Copies of this chain bind each other. A is one copy, B any other.
Amino acid sequence: MIIAMKRGTVKEKIQQFAAYLEQRGVKIHFSEGASQTVLGLVGDTTGVDEEALRAHHLVEKVIRVQEPYKRVNRLFHPEDTRIDTIGPDGEIRHIGAGYLGIIAGPCSVESREQIVTVAAEVKQAGAGFLRGGAFKPRTSPYSFQGLGNEGLTLLLEAKKETGLPIVSELMDIHHLDAFNEVDIIQIGARNMQNFTLLKELSLCRKPILLKRGLASTIKELLMAAEYLAAGGNGRIILCERGIRTFENYTRNTLDLAAIPALKKESHLPVIVDPSHATGLSWMVPTLAKAAVAAGADGIMVEVHNNPETALCDGEQSLTPKEFGDLMEILQKYAAIEMRSIGTDKL
C-alpha cells in the first residue's frame, strides 16, 4: 500500500503518522520528494483500514498495490479450478480446466411439456446442462414472476427424463430446501451484491453460478465470489452476461475482455451468457462463438421450443434447431482451442 502525504506536511507529523501505522504491524519505507513524502507500506496490510487512511487529514492519496481478493486469486491457487457435476444419467460433466460447459434451456419453466421437450432437444444437440427459471426477477411487479415451486418440480422431471443436471436461479434463501436436487444454483446479476444471500450460500456445498452485476466491475465480481469462498464454498462459476453502457442497440454490452481478465486474476471457470447480454436471438450464435474464441469455459443460452409464445425473454431465445446448428460450429471452435465439450477431453 502506498500513501502520498499532503504537500507541506512537516517531518515530525509524518513520523508520528508512520509510528501509528507501524503499530498496526507494517513496515514503512519513505520516499521524500521536494514537496511531498510518499510512504510505502510493506508486510501484511490487512490490519490497516484503507478508508480511515483516506479520511486522515495528513493524507492526500492511498493506493493499493495488491488485490483484496485471496481465495479466488490465482496468485494463491495457480491451477484452474474445475467444477464437476454428476447427472442422474451417471455422467460426470466438467466446467473449466479445458472443459466447456454448455447450459441451455428456456428463460422460464412454463409447463411440463415445454420443459421436457426443450430438455430432450438441447440434450440431443449436445448441451450438458438444462437451465430453466422457476423464480424470476422481473423489473415490473405486473410481469410473469415464474411458476415457483411448481416450476422446480417440472424442472426436476425434465432432469429425470433426460439425465441432464439442472441450473436454476435462487432469489430467496428460504427456497434453499426446494433447491435440494438442483445441481447448480444461479445467483442473478441483480443479486451479485446481495451480501446476505452470498453469505448464506457460502455455507452450502452446491456449485454456484455467479452472474456479474449490470454495473459491477471485474474486481467487484471477484469480491462477490470471495464472499462465497471465504464462507467455505469455493465451487464457483463466474458468468459474464453484459454490462450496462450508453449503447442501447443491444440490451447490454457484452464485455468479452472480462474472460481473459477474470482468468488471469482468478482460477475460477468463466462462462458467458450471450442471450441476456444482447437480448437479440439472431446475435446469440455469433457471440457464443466469440466467447469460446475468447477462452470462455462454457456458455449459457436460452432455448425455447416456441420463442413467439414464451412468457419471458422470447426475443432472445434460440429455437432448438438454431441451438443444434450452433453446437455444431462450437465443436469446431472448441477443437481449435483444444477444449472438450461435455465429458471427454480431446
A residues apposed to B, CB below 8 Å:
2, 4, 29-34, 36, 38, 40, 42-43, 46, 49, 51-52, 54-57, 61, 63, 65-66, 68, 137-142, 144, 171-172, 190-191, 193-196, 199, 213-215, 217-220, 223, 226-227, 230-231, 243-250, 253-261, 264, 277-278, 281-283, 286-287, 289-295, 307-317, 329, 332-333, 336
Contacts and interface: CB of A to CB of B under 8 A. Distances in A.
A248 B248 contact: yes
A55 B257 contact: no
A287 B226 contact: no
A309 to B, nearest CB: 6
A217 B293 contact: no
Given A61-B65, A245-B246, A31 B36 contact: no
A214 B217 contact: no
Contacts of A56: 308
25 contacts: A4-B65, A29-B29, A29-B38, A29-B40, A36-B65, A54-B315, A55-B281, A139-B193, A139-B223, A141-B195, A141-B231, A190-B195, A214-B215, A215-B215, A217-B248, A256-B290, A260-B282, A260-B287, A264-B282, A286-B295, A287-B294, A290-B291, A329-B336, A332-B336, A336-B336
B65 A310 contact: no
A32 B33 contact: no
Given A2-B38, A31-B40, A140-B226, 11 more contacts: A2-B63, A32-B42, A34-B42, A38-B40, A52-B310, A139-B220, A139-B223, A141-B226, A172-B196, A213-B215, A249-B261
A21 to B, nearest CB: 13
Q: Tell me how many chains of this kind the complex includes.
A: 4
A291 B68 CA distance: 32
Contacts of A278: 257
Nearest to A54: B315
Which 9 pairs show the lowest CB-CB distances between chains A and B? A215-B215, A31-B40, A55-B314, A29-B31, A293-B293, A290-B294, A190-B193, A33-B42, A54-B315
Nearest to A231: B141
A195 B144 CA distance: 13
Nearest to A57: B308
Contacts of A249: 217-219, 257-258, 261
A283 B257 contact: yes
A260 to B, nearest CB: 5
Given A194-B194, A196-B172, A140 B68 contact: yes
Contacts of A308: 52, 55-57
Contacts of A254: 255-257
